[in-house]
Every structure is written in structure tokens, then in C-alpha cells.
Structure 1
Amino acid sequence: MSSDTTTPSPGRRPRVAVVFGGRSSEHAISVVTAGAVLSAIDRTKYDVLPIGITADGRWALTADDPQRMAITDRRLPSVAELTESADGTVLLPVDPASREVVYTEPGNVPKVLGDVDVVFPMLHGPYGEDGTLQGLLELSGVPYVGSGVLASAVGMDKEYMKRVFVSFGLPVGPYEVIRPREWDRDPAAARKKIVDFAAEHGWPVFVKPARAGSSMGISKVDSLAGVDEAVAEARRHDPKIIIESLLSGREIECGVLEFEDGPRASVPAEIPPVTSHDFYDFEAKYIDSATGIVPAPLTEAETAEVQRLAVRAFEAASCEGLVRADFFLQDDGEFVINEINTMPGFTPISMYPRMWQESGVSYPELVDRLLQAALSRSTGLR
């Protein structure tokens, strides 16, 4: 199934709707990411329509002002600060035969904003990166950058991501899942699952929201005394939590990008130990701007292996466009995949663009390649 309106009319530049913000705890990081993309899009090649989703879920017309979308003096930006109206709403088309976007304000005649040819969904976390937005765009018949509904959902849910990886023969670390009903009905039994897991694999363990990113809600727990507080913090972001063991070794990341002949892997990067933080958490990543080493100091054989595994993970989850795959290189020389991110951090200093910059694809070229790939794909089953 495909739409017959994929190609813009002759003489008209393709129009890109950059959608960002959203209802997840990663709202601010999405704004930062979108600001970088807005700065990089070639305005001689594309028309751009910035659309922000507020923290309460309203689709709003925003200022096209990347400078206001950066982290400044440790202050995180928000869509609300960028909106042109406190109650105006942007409406996507609901008819796959139309690409017309409409803006409405109470008491005013709806304003037609014109057609949109492709969406660049710069959302992180639930209600954006997890297949929900992708499903909406499929229903609307509008092409978009990145993975489809299934791959996005798999890439967001750490439990099912690991299950898919195992079914494709990819190595994963030990983990345990606590589902919402388990903790709500019998917290003592759920707590015992965590204690039993730690007894088998050792303290510390990491308690994480199963469906969140940017290291939001993650706690490193050294003993039973810290379990309840860690679970409460994780459940602030997601009622389903995942427990993972500490994997000794080096943190290695690798980018995957889809080319005409299939997905290719970038040079890998290494995230060195963060001495000022207990682990590579949100503060280390985005506030203190801890940086990785690109390219990672690996042997040729190690580089080839992590690149192979990254592409394998991309294909296992049926991904499209782009993925950042995160690994641990263990002390025994074996790689274990931790997770994939179907819409990784995308500022120029983020690891995914840096890995591709080192691989010969500049940031503007990366943005353009993703947009062109999305424009060449139809929506619907594929």
C-alpha cells in the first residue's frame, strides 16, 4: 500500500515538518535535538515547518529559532517557550490522499499551512519514538524518517528488544522484568525477584524504566536497602521496570545508517568511565556534556565484529533509516549488546553524528540522506 502523493509537485522544494518535544520525560532533549537539525537542514533544498508537541500533548506551531532550543546555563528548553500561541493547534491530514496541514485557534478561521512531504520525528521516548507517532503518520500517509511501527516499538521496550535479539542469536546480558501488576499486587514478591536476581548475578544491579531513554529514571543499586527507592524512581517514568546486572568491560557504541545497498555501520565509539558520576547518567550525558572517544581504540577484528553485530541488530528489529547500537566489550573479549536506539541523540556533539562524521558523512549530509531515504519510501506495508 502506498500513497500517490509522495513526490512534491515540479518546481517545489520538498517540505519537511520537524516534529519535536512530546509527552515523555525526554521532552527537553527532543527540543535540543530538533534545534540542531533545524540548523543543519539545507534551506535551499527543503522548506521547513517546525511543529512542537507540548508536554501535555498539544501540537503547536513554533518559532524556527534553533538558538532558543539549546541547553543554556544548565537550563533545559521546552516547546511551551517556543509556541506562537498558547492555544493554537496544528492538525495533520487524516486522509492519505492529502498532505495538507491546518492550524486552528479558538475563534479564528482555520489556516492552511500547506502540504508536508516528509516528517522528521525528532521525538525521544514514549509517545514519539515507540511506534505511536509512526502509526499516526502511517494512517496519515505521510512519509517519515526512521523506523516503522514495529521496529520503533521493539526499540523502545527493553524487554522485547532483548527477546528479539536472543531469537536472532545476539548476545545479551542477564535481566529480569517486573511488570506493573506484579509490583501493584504483591510488591514483596516483586522485590524478592530483584533480590533473587542479585543473589544469582551479584550486586550492584541497575533498575531501569523498561520504556524510556536518555538514562532517565535509572538507579544503580548496591543492596536491598536501595531497591524500593530505585523502583519508585523507575516507575515515575514507566510502570514496567527492568533489572540488569552490572557488566564489566568497556562501553562501545556503533551507528547504523541505511544506504541504497543496505545498512552500513560507522566507526565505533567508546564511552570512557565517567569519574564525576556513578554511571553514564542523564546529567553526565547532557548537562556536563561527557564525551566519548571517536573512533574507539579497538583492534581491527574488534571493530569488524561490533560493526557486524550492529548491522545484525538493525536487521533483527526490522529497523529503517538509522540506529545507534550500544554494546559492552567484556573482559573476555566478547561483545554483549545492551540496546538499540531508533532515534538517537542527534545534536552535532551526540555520539551518532560524531561516529558518522568520523566515517565520512558530515552532519548536514547525514540529515539530507535521512530525508531523501524517507522521501523515497512509501507509507503502508513494506
Structure 2
Amino acid sequence: MKKNVVVIFGGDSSEHDVSCLSATTVIKNMDTEKYNVILVGITKEGKWLLVDGVKDIEDGSWREGEVKAFISPDTTTRSLVILAEGTYKLQKVDVIFPVLHGMNGEDGTVQGLFELSKIPYVGCGVLASAVSMDKVYTKIIVDHIGIDQAKFVHVRESDFEHLEEAMDRVEKEIPYPIFVKPSCAGSSKGVSKAENRKELEAALYEAVKHDRNILCEETIVGREVECAVLGDRTQVKSTCVGEILAAEEAAFYDFDAKYNNAESKTVVDPEMPEESKRKIKEDAEAIFRAVDGFGLSRVDFFLEESGRVVFNEINTLPGFTSISMYPMLWKACGLDIPELLDTLIDQAMTRYR
């Protein structure tokens, strides 16, 4: 029998639009011989809506929908509650595929709802999602397992009451230029590069718009490389390495460079020493295990000219757009998107057997 798969996308995060792009790729590559695909979109205001099809996502009309649909936390139903015209019905759900990036989608919050419902779901659990979304706590974990990473200083929203002191602390630990990042935002939202104290102050104010915790980080000069990971409780596999080539005019690989600049490119299996490739794969798998990862993640690194591999961040729900590195890397390993989706869904079901 076909499995009822609920694909949830959108969300009230700064990555809402990227989520919609990822969802169209996922939905178009799902085998309709195996799955009844049910679409649920979450608007930026947090409204959960039943969506008719991919075309409604592509033209944005789904946001005007009137039929509400949301996951019931009642474990006896394991269902989607659909509300329409003063009535409701329960749609049985076999597995949930969240295609939600950023806050309230990739940070363990919605995963907690899935755990309450006892419906199998694709991807990392509550703990792995939460600590991986939070760059500060990811760094604490990575420090513990001894993997190289950039120096960092944690700045809190409460520190803005004495911002001069906070900036003194940052400057004492890290030389300019300094990267300033919201601790819990993705796709480089709110990230700035500060060359001096004035720019540091502006960067902190920009970052705090996105999160109350801010990561100030040493600048690492090197190639931006990524590795895709796929794993469950028994085994973890990683792909070849991919490299990010940001557009020349981009100061770094920010949100605009990723999604709006045609000059930015991704290269699968670029030329580099075999020892560097091996180290990147080993570190990616080790970090995935350390955060208790499950299903999918993309782990990002810098490769310095000296050959040193430096961890950057882990994404537990990486982009699935047509230009996203995660599906591209697995395709290079012989795993096309439909087969990759099958694997992720099978893993989700196995976790609950």
C-alpha cells in the first residue's frame, strides 16, 4: 500500500522562501507509485494550510488558501487535522517529511511536535536539531571532540546594555576581520564581516535582529567546502567533497550570493589532496555522530592553503533546491534524488519500528 507522506514547508523563519524552493524539488521527485503526497504549507504568520499542488507553491497562491491543516499531537490518532467549512476530518499519516529551514523548522521545535504525535518523520531529532541550529553550542560540542574550528566569542542580547564592554571582549580574543553571525539563523541570514570596531557594532545590531545569541568568529582564509552525510543508528555515510565558489564581487557566500547571484557556483569533487578529502569526510561523520544526528545533514568546512581542515557549521536540514549541494553530492555518489528520498523515508520508518 502507498504511504501517506505529509510534506511540510514554508515556516515563519527568515528562510521561508528557500523552504518553498526546496519543497518543490522534494515533491517533484517523490515516487507517486509509492506515496500519497499531502502538502502542508506554513505561512510567515504561522498559519498551517492544506495545499493542492506544486503549482500553488511555485506561484505563491497557496498562501491565500482557506483550508487549515496541522499535525495532531494526540498519539492515538497519528493524523493530520484538516479544518474546512466548519467541519474537520482526520487524515492518517504514515510519515512526515519536514522541508523547513531555519527557526521553528530546523531547531527542534517542530520535531518536538512530531515526537508528541508519534508519527515517523524524516531527519534529525529534537536534540540534534537544537544543538546543530545553535552555532554557539555546536562549537562547544565540536571543541569537546577535538576537531579544529575558528576561535569564537559568544555575545548575548543582554550584553547590548554594555555593548562597549562586549566589543572589548570580542576584540581581545579575535583579530579583525571578524565574522558576526546570529547563533540560530541559517542561509547566512544576518551574517556580516566586520573590518573595524564601527563595523563590528553595526554587525552586532544586524545579527541581533535575527537571534538573541550572537557568534563572533575568527576569519578563516581558505576554500569553502562541504560534505553531505546520511546516517541512522547503525551506520553513517558521507559523500565526496563539494566546493563553494562565491561570485567575485561577494564579500563572502551570503544569502544573496547563494540564491540570487548566477556567478556563484558549486563544484562537486574539486581537485585537492586526497588526505584533505579523507579528513573532511572523517570529521563530517564524527560531528554528525557527536550531535546525535539522524537522517541527513550537510557539514561545512574551510580548507586552508596549508592543508588544515577547519569546521564551519552543520545543517541538519540542508537545502534541497536545484542548486543545493546536498542532493548534488549524493547524485555524484550514484544516489539520485528519488532514491535519496526513499532512503530518508525508510530511515524515518525504521526509527519507529
**TM-score of the aligned structures, taking structure 1 as reference length:** 0.88
The within-5 A match list for 1:178-197 is: 178-183=155-160, 185-197=161-173
Query: Higher strand share goes to which structure?
Result: 2
On the 8 A contact 2:15/2:101 being kept in 1, the answer is yes
Distance 1:69 1:192 in 2: 47
Residue 260 of structure 1: how far off its partner (Å): 8.3
Distance 2:292 2:220 in 1: 27
On the 8 A contact 1:15/1:46 being kept in 2, the answer is yes
Distance 1:163 1:68 in 2: 42
Count of aligned positions: 352
1:318-377 deviation line (CA, Å, top 9, x unaligned)? 000011000011122111111100000112321011111111111111111111111111
1:95: which partner in 2?
74
Residue 128 of structure 2, aligned match among 122, 143, 151: 151
Residue 276 of structure 1: how far off its partner (Å): 2.2
Does the residue aligned with 2:284 lie in a helix, a strand or coil? helix
Distance 2:334 2:261 in 1: 27
Residue 307 of structure 2, aligned match among 312, 333, 342: 333
Residue 195 of structure 1: how far off its partner (Å): 2.9
Does the residue aligned with 1:229 lie in a helix, a strand or coil? helix
AA aligned to 1:102 is V
On the 8 A contact 1:326/1:339 being kept in 2, the answer is yes
On the 8 A contact 2:108/2:127 being kept in 1, the answer is yes
Residue 68 of structure 1: how far off its partner (Å): 5.0
1:228: which partner in 2?
201
The within-5 A match list for 1:133-144 is: 133-144=110-121
- Structure 1 position 169 matched with structure 2 position 149: no
Residue 356 of structure 1, aligned match among 323, 330, 348: 330
On the 8 A contact 2:73/2:114 being kept in 1, the answer is no
1:278-334 deviation line (CA, Å, top 9, x unaligned)? 110111101124221101212222211111111001101100001100001112211
AA aligned to 1:266 is T
Distance 1:234 1:369 in 2: 36
Residue 259 of structure 1: how far off its partner (Å): 6.3
Residue 37 of structure 2, aligned match among 48, 67, 71: 48
- Aligned CA RMSD, in angstroms, stands at 1.7
On the 8 A contact 2:10/2:44 being kept in 1, the answer is yes
- Structure 1 position 244 matched with structure 2 position 217: yes
AA aligned to 1:139 is L
Distance 1:206 1:141 in 2: 40
AA aligned to 1:374 is A
**TM-score of the aligned structures, taking structure 2 as reference length:** 0.95
Residue 39 of structure 1, aligned match among 22, 25, 28: 28
Q: Which runs of 4+ in 1 moved over 6 A?
A: none
The within-5 A match list for 1:102-121 is: 102-105=81-84, 108-112=86-90, 114-121=91-98
AA aligned to 1:27 is H
Does the residue aligned with 2:349 lie in a helix, a strand or coil? helix
Residue 100 of structure 1: how far off its partner (Å): 2.3
